[in-house]
Structure 1
Amino acid sequence: MLDLPLIHAGKVRELYELSPDPQTGRERMLMVATDAISAYDHVLSPGIPDKGAVLTQLSQWWFDQLGDIVDNHVLTTDVPDEVPAADRARVAGRSVVVEKLAMVPVECVVRGYLTGSGWAEYQQSRTVCGIALPEGLRDGDRLPEPIFTPATKAELGEHDENITYEQMLETTGPELGAQLRDVSIEIYRHAEQVARERGILLADTKVEFGRRPDGTLVLGDEVLTPDSSRFWDATTWQPGERLDSFDKQFLRDWLVHESGWDKAWDTTPPPLPPHIVDATRQRYLDAYARLVGTAFVPTANTDRIAPMATVVVDVMPKPEILDPQGKAVTGALARLGYDGLTVRQGKRFEIEVDGEVTDEVLAQVADAAEKLLANTVIEQFTVRVEGSAQ
């Protein structure tokens, strides 16, 4: 958290109060994207290094592409003077100053392809959010036309809920509702074409809007990122068979199919293993590079807002040492018929580090390992970092 008045801390984003713009008098906020990641309405641990900066900078690129369609809430990407000096470096690249809007309490979802919750509903009723679709569609098929399928906005720990257009109008009224639908579809059509030219299929996306005091509709929050959209690789797309994603569906699939956790349980999902963190991060970087046309370059110190890192010390007997436990296991294996297998038994220590893992911190861990964790006469050790961009 920053030493500023906190307005709201969401699943992956924090909003802070700023003083009004001295020239226009418009109310302002600082929006900071963290490296946290959520799935099935749970915030997972650890976060994805650089994720907040990738989403912030990719959103800014998309806001520029959509400037002829709708205004957006960004006032500047410069870190404002009100941010304390101690915090400025760690929010650079992942924060934007935005105008305060009266947010419309609706998720504006546009689908150009059938998948996800839409596919689940289609299999039951041949509809998505009350919209009738043709027979015979497969998971991943492109729809004849993009469809507008709004959803309620959920608080932390609650579920987004798909609703019909008519249900949305009960909240927005007919005039605003029609405007939300039309602008959302126009955004999708333009973005889908831009993405397709870069080898990415935009299956669906979620956008959010607010209104200025004069009623002007303004695009807010993030836009067309791997967190708010479903991106597929156009070169491998095979409806009904293969839908390689650049978004966090990869992480969702691990949770549901490999982690041992059931999304129907009222329990916290397990920690993400390092290989899932690394692979998810790479998908965010790949999406950014494919869309923007250049590789993402982390801003200095953007990883400092990442969740707690784990420094691991692996201790093993030296090559010439056969420890008693390893010798016993080696003998047992031989008696079972597993000849030629020699076991040396090591140890693993996990040390949690609150803050940035610097060279100084790693040196301290190595010193502690040499004095306490390893018998350096007969053992050797290595120090490595998990759950961090380092």
Structure 2
Amino acid sequence: MRVIDVDGSVHTFGTGENGPTVTIRIHDKALHRKLFLNPELAAGEAYMDGSLTMEDGSTIYDFMYLFSVNRAPLGANPVQGVLRKFWKAFRRRQQQNSVERAKRQAQHHYDLSTDLYRLFLDEGLNYSCAYYRRPEDTLEEAQDAKLTHLVAKLDLKPDMEVLEIGGGWGSLAIRMAQAGARVTSLNVSPEQVRIAQERVDAAGVSDKVKFVLKDYREYSGKFDRVISVGMMEHVGIGHLDAYFGKIREVMSDDGYAVVHSIGRMTPPGTTGPFIRKYIFPGGYVPALSEVFASTERLGLWVCDAEILRLHYYYTIRDWRIRFEANREAAENIYDEAFCRMWEFYLCAVELGFLHGSNMVFQLFLSTERDAVPIIRDFIQDNERSLNGLD
């Protein structure tokens, strides 16, 4: 890495023998201390306001990739160790997601212009990990495969009642309704519900899908199936029992739930300061040990667990490439600082799935040990049927 300082002096770090050279320029002397004390947040904010720029053809992705492959020595920085302990000590306070606060935080991210999301998502506006059978699959193919995979896991029968916790822009609700289910979809984002209702109407399944503008804690009922995709990351560590408790409450005795969420393969940690401040306030990616501790406390059977390791890396890779190709259009919707924030966010999360500890898990949860078929063959059988291959 080459650093061009405020006074024009150049500092070089590393030999450059084992990878590309990345050049950055610092435009503000105050960044020296900020980057030392809180590099992740300070680097992101400096890139947003232009006090840190990329030079000589380097990109923000190049810069973050360089740091990503040097995680071990960077993690040994004693200042970072103190910061991590501080963040962990206060993480429950940072994630005190009351019903009203959770709604505000979700709207902070999901009530952005849908036109922004159309610039980098697939046509179905699926904003969660896709299912890549091959790394070269298109985003559309992988998201379609994800919907098929989830519906296959639900093992739906005609007129089954399904509760969806966190409905997004409606793609999964549409797919479940097309499979014959009656869907109640919870969402706290008015903008998402508006678009989702339009899409449900256009798909001709409005008689089978009902959207409800409520937090999961505000809704009750009994359902044959419960599904939650990309929602648990917003719950917060102090609310996992409430989340799984609600799933237990609304499941029929012979029903089961499918939960799809980002997780980490490392011990419990914290949410990075940039993501926490600018992207997902109140969010937290739980360790599997935290998830299973909660299901144990609530007496839930974890009937199956599938770990998707690289799928979200491929997904966000495709999102980032599409956003870069449509950056000018994004700037017309918001501004340059917003685009830089979004670039930093997409690069950070992509590399977190490539070199970091992040992955995605899909769980089957039930109150009865035999609610889910005892072997997995039914998933593949259902997928073949849904794909017209039977």
Give the TM-score category using the shorter length. under 0.3
Larger radius of gyration: 1
The TM-score with structure 2 as length reference comes to 0.21
Answer 1 or 2: which has greater helix percent: 2
The TM-score with structure 1 as length reference comes to 0.21
Answer 1 or 2: which has greater strand percent: 1
